[in-house]
Structures are given as C-alpha cells and as structure tokens.
Amino acid sequence: MQPDAPLLFFDSGIGGLSILGPTRALMPSAPIVYAADNAAFPYGTRSEGEIAARVPALLGRLVERVRPRLVTIACNTASTIALDHVRAALDVPVVGTVPAIKPAAELSATRVIGVLGTRATVRQPYVDDLAARFAGDCTVLRHGSADLVELAEARLRGEQVDPAAAVAAAQPLFDQPDGDKLDTVVLACTHFPLLADWLAHAHPQVRFIDGGQGIARRIAYLTKGQSWPDDAPPGRALFTAGIPPGMNTALAPFGITDLGSL
C-alpha cells in the first residue's frame, strides 16, 4: 500500500464530516478525499432504486480516479440501501454507516428509543432488522426529516440558522405515542450530529448518539499497520455538481483545502 493512498469518504452532501472528524482525530496523517454527490442531494428524498443504481456506479468512478485504500460510505441512507451492491462492485474495503440502534438499546432505561434519520433511512428493512435483533424489548419510534439535512448543510456553510428550526423539525419524533418516554435517540443521518447540541439543549433528558466514533475506530482497525505519510497532505473534496458556495468555510477545519469537480 502506497503511503499516499487516501481514505475516501462519500456522502450526498457534507454530513459525512461527522465521520471524517473523529477519523482525523484517530489518524491525523491520513490522506483524505471527500466526495459529495451534490447533484443528487439529498439522498433521503430519492427512491431506493435510484440510490441502489447510482451509488455503486459513482463510487466505481471515484475509486478509479483516486485509488483509495478504503472507502467509507458516510451516509446512512446510501449504506442501508446500497452497501452490499457497493461491496460487490469494488475491490477495496468498504465501511458503511448504519443506525446505532444496538448501543441505543443498551443505554436506554425507559426502553423507548428513537431513530431520527432521513425518510428513506427510517423506512428501510435494514432498520427493521436492527431493531428486531438488538432492541426487541424496546419501543422504537422513528421520524424522517429532510429539513434537518438542509439545516445542517447551511450551518456548516456558516449561514445563519435558527436553532428553533432544527428543534421543530425533530419534534414529530417526540409527539408520537410514548414520545414523552424517549431517553435515547439515534441520529441516523450523518448530517444530524452537526445539530446535536441544539437538539440536546431542547431535550436535556434525552441522550443523542451516533456511530461516528465507532466508524472511525473501524477504519483505524482495517488500516492498522499500513504506511502513512509523515504529515497529512491537504485534503481534497470532489463534487458532482460543482463546488457549492460556502464549502471553504465548511471544509477547511477538517484539513480539506483542495476543492474540485468530479
């Protein structure tokens, strides 16, 4: 493995930065390429068939172009729909991002947990399976929100965003029967940890969790013993529909300063 072979992170937008952040903390010298399919953003409003066809094809092009040592699908929607298709299509290790239902069930005292994601993610059979396997004795409430995705993107771009808008977008989860008993909520979209401080302030009795730290540890494990540069080169970001406004503001804190189009 060449030391300059990068880790490739993939999402429809920049929510995957919630996975990249903890990975950078564990592996500060790792070369990084971040790819955003903003031509199809947000994935949560797309059909399962479109995502299942689009994501493997696009990642195939990306792998040919950047020659990564590992691919992380830093998107719950793409992972729950297309992970198996991607793994079958690529000859590099692929790490997916799936809702942290197991740790949520382990933490819950009330046995009522929430899954807050995109509309596409929360309706997936994959989520049904996780709930059945790891939270069989819990009531699992779900809510899908496209508004939260948009708000997270705007906040990262440095725009003025009203925290009350994020709280309102998540409120239908708590308005369901037994919603007043929620004590643990899975942030099942990589965008949503970027709003977790606002949600936690509005619901101090609730623990909001995501899989970012666990995914970072998985990436570190799968690349253990490999050669890395002495110093991390500037990270690169690629966009399928041109570079959106505000990306320098969003990406620079993560060491990504080389922006381009795919």
Catalytic, 75? Answer yes
Catalytic annotation, pick one of 82, 189, 215, 237? 189
Look at residues 78, 68, 94, 107 and name the one whose alpha carbon lies nearest to residue 210: 107
By DSSP bridging, strand 7-11 and strand 70-73 are: parallel
Contact at 8 Å (CB) between 58 and 132? Answer: no
With H, G, I as helix, E, B as strand and everything else as coil, classify residue 78.
helix
Instruction: List the one residue out of 69, 74, 78 whose CA is nearest residue 10.
Output: 74
Beta bridge partners of 208: 185
Q: How far apart are the first and last CA of the chain?
A: 24
Tokens representing 225 are: 């013993």
- Residues 99 and 188: their CA atoms lie apart, in Å, by 5
Contacts (Cβ under 8 Å, ≥6 apart) of 25: 216
- Known active-site residue 138: no
Is 20 buried (19+), middle (13-18) or exposed (0-12) by CB count in 10 A?
buried
Q: Which of 33, 75, 98, 156 is catalytic?
A: 75
Are 213 and 205 a contacting pair, CB within 8 Å?
no
C-alpha dihedral sign at 36, 38, 40, 42: positive
Catalytic site positions: 75, 189
